[in-house]
Chains A and B, each alone.
Chain A
Amino acid sequence: MSNLSTIHGDRFPELADTVLKRAKALGATEADLLVAEGDSVSVQVRMSEVDRLSKAREKVLGIRVFFGKRSASSSTSDFSKASLDRLVSDTCSLARAVVEDETSGLPAPDHMVTDIPDMDMKDDRQLTVDEEIDLARRTEQSAFSADTRITNSEGAECSAGYGSILLANSHGFIGSYASSSYSLSVSPIALDSQNGGMQRDYWYSVKRKFHELESPEKIGQEAARRTLRRLGSRTITTQEVPVIFDPETAKGLLGHISSAVSGYSLYKGASFLLGQLGKSIASDLVTVIDDGRLAGGLGSRPFDGEGLPTRKTLVVDKGVLSSYMLDTYSGRKLGMASTGNASRSVGENPTVGATNLYLSPGSYSPEEILKSMKRGLFVTDLIGFGVNLVTGDYSRGAVGFWVENGELTHPVEEVTIAGNLQQILKDIEMVGNDLEFRGRLASPTVKIRKMMVAGH
């Protein structure tokens, strides 16, 4: 078991035992519980001055009880004995009020993870508030130094967080792990002399280990570069053209695949990938992997929200949908085994979540992909929620560049790109070699054969 080194951590196993025993005493046939504890400090600096400093320390306990096939969940942040006793009895009453659900229940006892690996997810480096202020200041300063057209800022933020999780259930399972994360970001604003408006963009780095963070100087420069390149934006006419998604926007497509292959979307009939297992759903350039044990990954964890071992799952294999992502409940619904993708907020029922989900890199450099485009749109930012996961209909606001003969000609804004995800995935005609993890989802540059672009 990993070491619980946070504030109350040492008494959690005992607390878990007491709560589970109490649920049993009240007649629960099965129960599980999750305790999460976290500690974080973040600072925001704007125009070199401290704008906001926040410090947080919190803990929460969630319990799920089963009375045969009836179940309910609750959570509380009050760990006093009286409060926990009340929580358990309230949860038991709730469970008795809902109907039986034949599918419900804990995973089988022999499926629980037995060997909890140390996944090296925690850095003990504590940042002082002054260090954070300095890092944020340098990041913002680096953006301002890049160009005189950067005249304003929404601020730079530095934060560090440390957390631990303990999961226990009535099978006698108990497991825990601790993790940390550090992040640094800045949002510079540039004045657009051409049309009198303003443009903003941002850049960031987030890592489990402090020493792996990108330098403040590099983050600031990149944020400035991204902001400046938006100046002089125009709209374009409505037309159907090839579209390149840069890695930051291509991640969004992976997010949609992730939702569509979640066992919950599937058994509810709410996925455009329903009934597609074993079938070709994308171009053969598309291979998507979910890896819960990627070293240093922000989505890595030794066991999932139900205590099952995490693993590496091939979700899409050269265009063929080769696995759904499942937890115990949604797996049972579909007649399949869990893929160790139970994701859980404390006090909620498990659902399915990706761990570290990525699109395998292809063979083209981003420059080669750009060169291949005679005329089309290179997308660098998307806004809005115009994605219907039931039908795959896709329509979002886009920002990027117009491309002529393999060169970026001018920035573009106030356009939408639209299509249907089923077709978009099949129309992926180039995948870049520029895969880099920056969060739990990662994608290289991707080129789509054609999409409808709406403008003036």
Chain B
Amino acid sequence: MVPSLSDFALQEKDVLQALNKAIARDVDYVDMYVESCVTDSVSMEESLVKRAVKSISQGAGIRAVAGERTGFAYSDDLSVRDLEIAADTARYIADSPQGDNPIAVTHRSQPTQNLYSLAQPLTDITTEARVDLLNKIDVEARRYDPRITKVMASFNTEQKIFLVINSQGQLVGDVQPLSRLQITCIAEDGSNRQVGSFGGGGRVGFTFYLEQNRAMEFAREAARQAILNLGAVEAPAGTMPVVLGGGWPGILLHEAIGHGLEADFNRRKTSAFSDLVGKSVASELCTIVDDGTLPFRRGSMNIDDEGTPTSRTMLIEKGILRGYITDRLNARLMGIPLTGNGRREDFRSIVLPRMTNTFMLAGESDPQDIIRSVKNGLYAVSFGGGQVDITSGKFVFSASEAYLIEDGKVTKPVKGATLIGNGPDVLKKVSMVGHDMKLDEGIGTCGKDGQSVPVGVGLPTIKIDEMIVGGTAMG
């Protein structure tokens, strides 16, 4: 299904009339983003599905860009009058009088990719089916081990419809489904209380969670982590070799490299990666891409929020920095390719260059050999959140499941290790890359400038020769 203006009860002439209000001679570009979004959330705790929440939001954001200046305004009312007020505000950044060429829609297109068409729209999943899924999760997690004392789970879906109309005459839109199942278990053994979390999702329908008993696997996995942590020892503190498992540990790439390669920071030369294109920023074992075209993935989109088709962008090729990820504004000002990474949280937010799915390609090492090569170090397989200071390049990310490696063997689980490093240095220390590239389960959310967007990450098993591990035990 491709949306049209009539889905928003809007007339093309009214939209163009509003857009024309925003055009001035020194304005380079104008667009309107019209969005409607329905979210449904059910959650369970104490073995009861007692919360159900629905929200409906609709609105339009209008922006005018002149040189480096952006004027932006939005309205949650789609009346012609409100759109015109928003357009007038967006135009405030312009110094010159009205433009001479009124905007007309010249190419009406639909996305050329079809990455996530679902048999059943997410809005059609009954509340009863959602409730039933969560009840089964509760039973399954508790069955895993009697020491599981609390199970909390939530299932969220979002159905977003949007259209972009711009001053180049393009009119294009997409329907983007997104869903996520999240489970948290608390395990207790005497006064020892620990937590485990797991989840997954993507631009997938309800059957995804039922296929291969996936939801029950998620439940067991959350329970397993909580029980594992009951026996975890204090994490070591200090510098040591670190092996990262495949999949979600790819958050390292997101924090250490990805944010630093977003075009806005590089245009302003505020990133630790500014002016490093063509230079070596990683070991030659590292090839890293950002790819918004993977079917059903959480970070994927047929088109970005400016209507540009998403693509696969080479960020680092055999250790050499190849390019940045861009939105229209930054691609134009920097004279570099448009990569389809212009994203926004919703109609209330401005477009920023953001990652989609960011991952490292597989290498040739056997994961077992990678672990065997470490005498004493840390093996981290699951993480909580991460954060980066773009300017200094310093980043951290926190392990939720990690083990000591002693004499080439994975031994005791450790609690709460935080890893800290410097973006432009850390990948130079990658000495082995496994052949087991894996993408994450589909739970990632990236924050930037107060806006959250869904993203994906991926990683094969890799060895980093040296990293600082923040724990409480003398390493």
Contact = CB atoms under 8 A, between A and B. Distances in A.
Interface in B98-136: 126-128, 131
Contacts of B272: 197-198
Contact of A414 (B72, B348, B390, B422): B422
Given A94-B52, A349-B51, A384-B396, A76 B391 contact: no
A233 B422 CA distance: 13
B386 to A, nearest CB: 7
A89 to B, nearest CB: 12
B239 to A, nearest CB: 5
Contact of B237 (A72, A77, A152, A454): A454
Contact of A268 (B45, B270, B388, B393): B45
A72 B50 CA distance: 8
A58 B75 CA distance: 7
Contacts of B152: 268
A137 to B, nearest CB: 13
B156 to A, nearest CB: 12
B355 interface: no
Contact of A384 (B59, B75, B393, B398): B398
Contacts of A95: 52
B412 to A, nearest CB: 16
Contacts of A238: 237-239, 474-475
* Residue among A94, A101, A383, A399 having the largest count of chain B Cβ atoms under 10 Å: A383
Nearest to B269: A152
B470 A189 contact: no
A78 B36 CA distance: 11
Contacts of A341: none
A161 to B, nearest CB: 13
A57 interface: yes
Interface size class of B (residues with CB under 8 A): 35 or more
B396 A383 contact: yes
Contacts of A268: 45, 150, 152, 186
A240 B473 CA distance: 10
Nearest to A240: B474
A53 B472 contact: no
Nearest to A79: B77
B69 A395 contact: no
A87 B56 contact: yes
A299 B422 CA distance: 37
A200 B394 CA distance: 11
A270 B93 CA distance: 49
A101 B420 contact: no
A16 to B, nearest CB: 18
Given A53-B71, A385-B385, A418-B237, A393 B416 contact: yes
B159 interface: no
Contact of B348 (A58, A152, A395): A58
Contacts of B445: none
Contacts of B416: 386, 388, 391, 393-395, 418
Interface string B286-299: 00000000000000
A270 B186 contact: yes
Residue of B389, B421, B469 with highest tally of chain A CB at under 10 A: B389
Given A53-B72, A97-B131, A269-B150, A78 B52 contact: no
A409 B423 CA distance: 26
B149 interface: yes
B150 A270 contact: yes
A52 B472 contact: no
B85 to A, nearest CB: 8
A53 B93 contact: yes
Contact of B55 (A76, A101, A240, A349): A76
Contacts of A98: 42, 49-52, 127, 131
Nearest to B466: A456
B408 interface: no
B58 A235 contact: no
B89 interface: yes
A19 B386 CA distance: 43
Nearest to A395: B418
Interface stretch (A43-51, A215-223, A285-293, A355-363): A43-51
Nearest to A416: B470
A155 to B, nearest CB: 9
B188 interface: yes
A415 interface: yes
Contact of A101 (B50, B54, B150, B390): B50
Contacts of B385: 384-385
Contacts of A46: 68, 268
B56 A199 contact: no
B70 interface: yes
Interface in A354-395: 383-386, 388, 390-391, 393-395
Across the A-B interface, give the 8 residue pairs with the lowest CB-CB distance, nearest first: A416-B470, A384-B396, A97-B127, A397-B396, A385-B385, A200-B391, A454-B237, A393-B416
Given A55-B72, A98-B49, A385-B386, 14 more contacts: A51-B68, A53-B93, A60-B57, A78-B56, A94-B127, A98-B131, A154-B268, A197-B393, A238-B474, A270-B195, A391-B416, A395-B235, A415-B468, A454-B469
Interface of B: 42, 45, 48-59, 68-76, 86, 89, 92-93, 126-128, 131, 149-150, 152, 186, 188, 193-195, 235, 237-239, 268-270, 272, 348, 350, 384-398, 415-418, 420-422, 468-475
7 contacts: A76-B57, A152-B270, A200-B392, A383-B388, A384-B385, A384-B420, A396-B396
